[in-house]
Amino acid sequence: MDISTQTVITDTELKSMSEEIRREVSRRRTFAIISHPDAGKTTLTEKLLLYGGALDLAGSVTAKKRQRETASDWMELEKKRGISISSTVLQFDYENYRLNLLDTPGHKDFSEDTYRVLMAVDAVIMVIDAGKGIESQTRKLFEICRKRGIPIFTFMNKLDRPSMAPLELIDQLEKVLNLHAFPVAWPLGNGQNFKGAYDRLRKEVHLFERVPGGAYKAPVSIRDIRDPLVKDTLSEQTYNEVVEEIAILDGAHGGFDRDAVLQGKATPVFFGSAANNFGVELLLRGFLEYSSGPAPRNAISGLIPLDNLHFSGFVFKVQTNMNPLHRDRMVFVRVCSGRFSRDITMHHARIGKEIRLSSCHNVFGRNREIAGEAYPGDIIGFVTRADFRVGDTISTDPDLVFEEIPRFAPECFTFLHNSLASGYKSFRKGVDHLLAEDIVQVFHLQEPKSSLPLLGAVGPLQFEVMQYRLKDEYGAESRLEATQWKVLRWLETHLNDMDLKRSLPHGAALGTDEQGRMVILFPAEWSLKYFLEKNPSIKLFDSPGKMG
């Protein structure tokens, strides 16, 4: 469809539209907060909202984890357990910026959701618990960011507790992640003696004051490092250490290279305490100043310019029951080009149909607001019953299709039974709705042929979440039946089913995924290896996207 066939648009109108898009894009920042579990992502998110003016009072993520009430952990189970289970979109305005912030779950069992978020953002804030240094999950997430060349901003958190030496933390970034680190805000002490941060680029000391529960912005006084008040506030030892460390950094680390940051080759580092609001404003301001607006995305046909007159975007998340009263389903889209305005006709690339999406929303945790328009970089939500899956492209151009979002091979498999015969209807409905989120995958075994689907997920907690939600959102009781499988691979082969079956090692099974693609389930990694040795002609893949 050519846009000119919809309405007649003059050259001047085209020019002003593309200028408008470029103007809007330049004020957008779309980023995720990532890390190992418990480093403080949700706490930091809450504080960024506080400093961004999107919240008057920050909710607390308490140590006891019982009274938790935050904008981003809105699911019942998240509040109860005190951990993030699902990613959350928070869109808000700060000064002239429009921020699309995504808080992600750190637990590896929920990492499929986090990986998808990484496909939808232009930058990340990597949170590190300064008492623990770089942990395993942070490392994995970092590797994905590096592969995509996403700019990374680092926040060393929990400086209000005894921490590793700041120079050692910087050294870890360089050695463990092989990432050049440029400390922007340097900590003045740690634990009880954490008093402030030194902004190396502005050459200013920010002295912090504690506020009860960190609910309000922490008052800050800004000084020169030689100011007597700075010396008086810090112990003599801390002051001397800080001055020495800064001299070492200035001598050794070279200048700040924003281009290297934007290419994901260097990370600006900030130190602080999200719970106490220390260093949060320095991070927010630094992030806005040194990050850049949304980058154009690759479609199968090539790079799609942001000011393309065709609207385009892709689905990276589907969430059911954000509003349990309405049993609705929200489809989250990252806008990649053009301008969304209400009631334009879209093409749904996968099913090859035209579709009208009228209710586009700006999303803020559980809350939403009808949005009249959206621009590249925005994360918007559509409430729709149409068949959208993660990775789907929507565009006014029927020929535009974005590259697939990689899917990972599940590592845990279970059968899910309805445990109350009378509740089958709500069980079935709940399972269908929750599976549409595309987090838990469904497989069908070839033998024994049963209507009971086999569920696969990256980690077992995902099944627990499903059971909890079935009960909480659908009133359905369920029971899990463990299986012996631990590894799944998609396959390509010329063998017929009989021969293939004969070639399977003991305990392995054949099945299909939801799209009818053949898979093999193995009881262990060694069984997979054995199979590969015996059947070199069969190609196995850990993601269906890698198949030819």
Ligand X SMILES: Nc1nc2c(ncn2[C@@H]2O[C@H](COP(=O)(O)OP(=O)(O)OP(=O)(O)O)[C@@H](O)[C@H]2O)c(=O)[nH]1
Residues found near ligand X in the complex (CB under 6 A): 35, 37-43, 61-63, 65, 83-84, 105-107, 157-158, 160-161, 273-276
Residue 43 partner contact from ligand X, Mg ion, none using kind-dependent CB cut-offs of 5 to 8 Å: ligand X
For the CB of residue 456, give the shortest distance to ligand X in the complex, in Å: 23
Q: Return the number of other C-beta atoms located less than 10 Å from residue 209's C-beta.
A: 13
C-alpha distances (whole Å) from 78 to each of 186, 192, 327, 466 are 33, 30, 19, 13
Residue 221 partner contact from Mg ion, ligand X, none using kind-dependent CB cut-offs of 5 to 8 Å: none
φ/ψ (deg, to 5) at 80: -70, -45
Residue 116 partner contact from Mg ion, ligand X, none using kind-dependent CB cut-offs of 5 to 8 Å: none
Which H/E stretch holds residue 78? helix 76-81
Tell me how many degrees the CA angle 530-535-537 measures, rounded to the nearest 5. Answer: 145
Residue 63 partner contact from ligand X, Mg ion, none using kind-dependent CB cut-offs of 5 to 8 Å: ligand X
For the CB of residue 187, give the shortest distance to Mg ion in the complex, in Å: 23
For the CB of residue 161, give the shortest distance to ligand X in the complex, in Å: 5
For the CB of residue 278, give the shortest distance to ligand X in the complex, in Å: 7
**Candidate residues 84, 114, 384, 441; the one interacting with Mg ion per rule CB under 5 A:** 84
Binding mask 42-81 for Mg ion (x = CB under 5 A): x---------------------------------------
In the bound state with ligand X, the residue whose beta carbon lies nearer, of 106 and 391, is 106
For the CB of residue 129, give the shortest distance to ligand X in the complex, in Å: 8
Residue 273 partner contact from ligand X, Mg ion, none using kind-dependent CB cut-offs of 5 to 8 Å: ligand X
In the bound state with Mg ion, the residue whose beta carbon lies nearer, of 125 and 266, is 125
In the bound state with Mg ion, the residue whose beta carbon lies nearer, of 42 and 114, is 42
In the bound state with Mg ion, the residue whose beta carbon lies nearer, of 41 and 206, is 41
In the bound state with ligand X, the residue whose beta carbon lies nearer, of 41 and 310, is 41
In the bound state with ligand X, the residue whose beta carbon lies nearer, of 83 and 117, is 83
Would you mind telling me the total number of residues written for the chain in this entry? Answer: 548
Q: Return the number of other C-beta atoms located less than 10 Å from residue 4's C-beta.
A: 10
Rg (CA), the chain: 25
Is the preceding peptide bond at 305 cis, omega within 30 degrees of 0?
Answer: no
Q: Which residue is nearest to ligand X (CB)?
A: 106
For the CB of residue 120, give the shortest distance to ligand X in the complex, in Å: 18
For the CB of residue 265, give the shortest distance to ligand X in the complex, in Å: 26
Tell me, rounded to whole angstroms, the distance of Cα 78 from its chain centroid: 16
Residue 40 partner contact from ligand X, Mg ion, none using kind-dependent CB cut-offs of 5 to 8 Å: ligand X
C-alpha distances (whole Å) from 64 to each of 60, 61, 150 are 11, 8, 35
In the bound state with Mg ion, the residue whose beta carbon lies nearer, of 43 and 393, is 43
Tell me which amino acid residue 225 is: I
Piece of the chain touching Mg ion by CB under 5 A; list 82-90, 174-182, 377-385, 490-498: 82-90
Residue 157 partner contact from ligand X, Mg ion, none using kind-dependent CB cut-offs of 5 to 8 Å: ligand X
Per the CB < 8 A criterion, the answer to whether 91 and 364 are in contact is yes
Tell me, rounded to whole angstroms, the distance of Cα 13 from its chain centroid: 37
For the CB of residue 272, give the shortest distance to ligand X in the complex, in Å: 7
Binding mask 6-45 for Mg ion (x = CB under 5 A): -----------------------------------xx---
Residue 465 partner contact from ligand X, Mg ion, none using kind-dependent CB cut-offs of 5 to 8 Å: none
Per the CB < 8 A criterion, the answer to whether 176 and 134 are in contact is yes
Residue (of 6, 116, 13, 8) closest to 398 by Cα position: 6
For the CB of residue 110, give the shortest distance to ligand X in the complex, in Å: 8
Piece of the chain touching Mg ion by CB under 5 A; list 84-92, 240-248, 292-300, 366-374: 84-92
Determine if 384 is a binding residue for Mg ion (CB under 5 A): no
φ/ψ (deg, to 5) at 116: -65, -40
Residue 158 partner contact from Mg ion, ligand X, none using kind-dependent CB cut-offs of 5 to 8 Å: ligand X
HEC readout, 58-76: CCCCCCCCCCCCCCCCCCH
Per the CB < 8 A criterion, the answer to whether 137 and 41 are in contact is no
With contacts defined by CB under 5 A, how many residues of the chain interact with Mg ion? 3
In the bound state with Mg ion, the residue whose beta carbon lies nearer, of 42 and 190, is 42
Which H/E stretch holds residue 290? helix 280-290
Tell me which amino acid residue 510 is: L
For the CB of residue 88, give the shortest distance to ligand X in the complex, in Å: 10
In the bound state with ligand X, the residue whose beta carbon lies nearer, of 41 and 285, is 41
Residue 478 partner contact from Mg ion, ligand X, none using kind-dependent CB cut-offs of 5 to 8 Å: none
Place of tokens 């910026």: 97
Bridge partners (DSSP) of residue 488 are 521
Residue 377 partner contact from Mg ion, ligand X, none using kind-dependent CB cut-offs of 5 to 8 Å: none
C-alpha distances (whole Å) from 526 to each of 20, 507, 530 are 57, 12, 6
For the CB of residue 117, give the shortest distance to Mg ion in the complex, in Å: 13
Tokens of 191: 């634990």
For the CB of residue 282, give the shortest distance to ligand X in the complex, in Å: 14
Bridge partners (DSSP) of residue 124 are 32, 152
Q: What is the distance between the alpha carbons of residues 381 and 371, in angstroms, rounded to a whole number?
A: 9
Per the CB < 8 A criterion, the answer to whether 412 and 456 are in contact is yes
Residues 6 or more apart whose CB falls under 8 angstroms from that of 259 comprise none
Q: What is the distance between the alpha carbons of residues 387 and 248, in angstroms, rounded to a whole number?
A: 57
Binding site for Mg ion (CB under 5 A): 41-42, 84
